[in-house]
Amino acid sequence: MKGKIPNSYVLLFFIIIILGLASYVIPAGNFARQIDVDTGISYVIPDSYRLVERTPVSIFDLFKAIPDGMIQAGDIIIFVLITGGSFGIIQATGTINAIISNVVKKYVGKEKKVIPIVMIIFSIAGAVFGTAEEALPLYPMLVALSLALGFDRMTGVAMGLLGAGAGFVAGFLNPFTTGIAQGVSELPLFSGMFLRGIAYVIFLSTAIIFVYNHANSLRNNECLDNPNEIGYSSDFNFNKIPSISRKHIKVICVLILSFVFLSIGIIKMKFHILEISTTFLIMGLLCGIVGGINSGRLVSEFMKGASNLIYGALIIGVAKGVMVVMEYGNIMDTVIYQLSKIVMGVSPVINAISMFIVQSIINLFISSGSGQAAVTMPIMKTLADMSGISRQTAVLAFQFGDGFSNIISPTSGYFMAALAIARVDWRKWAKWSWPLFIIWCIEGCVIISIAVAIKYGPF
């Protein structure tokens, strides 16, 4: 499967070429738009679509669309890089690893009590930091813990993957999916947190119950394909786990205060992407200072953290290039117009759920959540406006479509890496996790339906 699906950058460039060629075939057209004087948001005026003179895209403009897209998405790209750099500094203090490691050590011998504790910690990391690849070094520890408690490798990797996955899907403070999708949709960043918080509790609770039941069945010697996978592992030395020091406590205090300030800023002071980026930057620097990192290493760790996200940051610009090519050729509104004719007359709930299904399919090909948001949300936000769905609901459909399939998709890099580290076969994992995936999808459809019913906003 991996060899059949091209790299995300290559795929996006192919899409740009195809759309450039399509500008010679698809009729050019535009909607009239109006700006809401209160919010400054631009909306399509229904029934205003008109054909305009065709503007085919030249070969030079195909390539021009990529830097143009990066310039247009510059604020989001910078936001991702600053956030990544700040998290790099926080990671370098060792605080996150120390917290998880000590929870692991504390609950050795206490069997299933460790499952909800570890999954809650990973879920918070997923919901707030968008943790995915960053957690990979912790999976050997989780597998060792799982075997030490008498469980199997599946339980160990599931605690991390499903815990972080539940938080990532809800993403109430995830800057890399929720933040970018809302930015593209012109929504206030991290608005609508209440329903996302409810979704977080539902998805996490379901995942914990699912893993807990699996652990129970192991205790009862049920569903064991390989009994040799159960038992104590000496691959990890629990005596070498670092203790939580005064330095780590200081970093934790800075993190808590920063997120309290960020929450107040978003809710009360109407923080936008500039202010949120600034908050993350200050948070990272303060964590480094109280964490005892000198100025030289502070810069080094910031650069390392930012460089880890260059792939995802730049793909936002390339994805924006897809929209730019459609704008060059004046075909984006034509595509939206044709799609709107399909969804018009259909229930808004069906439209919203259809968005979720489409995003799930797209996630198989564009595994970067931030890149997917940049590609799809410009179209989805307009379709939402025209079909009676709030843009916030469209973002929710994107989050669920991007997130649920991450726990089962063989094209998800960090997911496959985690399974490889844990030495769990993908086919075995897929067979085991499929029921949870279906349950999450059903729960997601119910939540999306509720979002449509309550006109989930602010708009």
For the chain, the structural domain boundaries read 8-453
> Would you say residue 3 has pLDDT above 50?
no
Enumerate helices (H) and strands (E) in the chain, giving the number of each.
Answer: 19, 4
pLDDT in tens, 370-408: 767 776 788 788 888 878 899 999 999 999 988 898 888
When pLDDT is cut at 50, 70 and 90, the band that residue 76 belongs to is: confident
Partners of 35 in beta bridges: 42
Residues of the chain with pLDDT > 70, as a percent, come to 84
Residue pair 251/93 in contact (Cβ under 8 Å)? The answer is yes
Give me the half-sphere count of Cα atoms (radius 13 Å) on the Cβ side of residue 339: 19
Closest Cα partner for 164 from 429, 419, 407?
407
Please count the other Cβ atoms lying within 10 Å of the Cβ belonging to residue 311. Answer: 16
Range 210-229 average pLDDT: 69
Q: Is the pTM value of this prediction over 0.85?
A: no
pLDDT at 120: 93
Residue pair 103/114 in contact (Cβ under 8 Å)? The answer is yes
pLDDT at 1: 39
**What dihedral angle (degrees, nearest 10) is formed by the CA atoms of 48, 379, 180, 123?**
130
> Would you say residue 298 has pLDDT above 60?
yes
pLDDT at 360: 86
> Would you say residue 207 has pLDDT above 60?
yes
Range 212-226 average pLDDT: 70
Range 175-189 average pLDDT: 84
**How far is it, in rounded angstroms, from Cα 176 to Cα 128?**
10
Residue type, 113: K
Residue type, 416: M
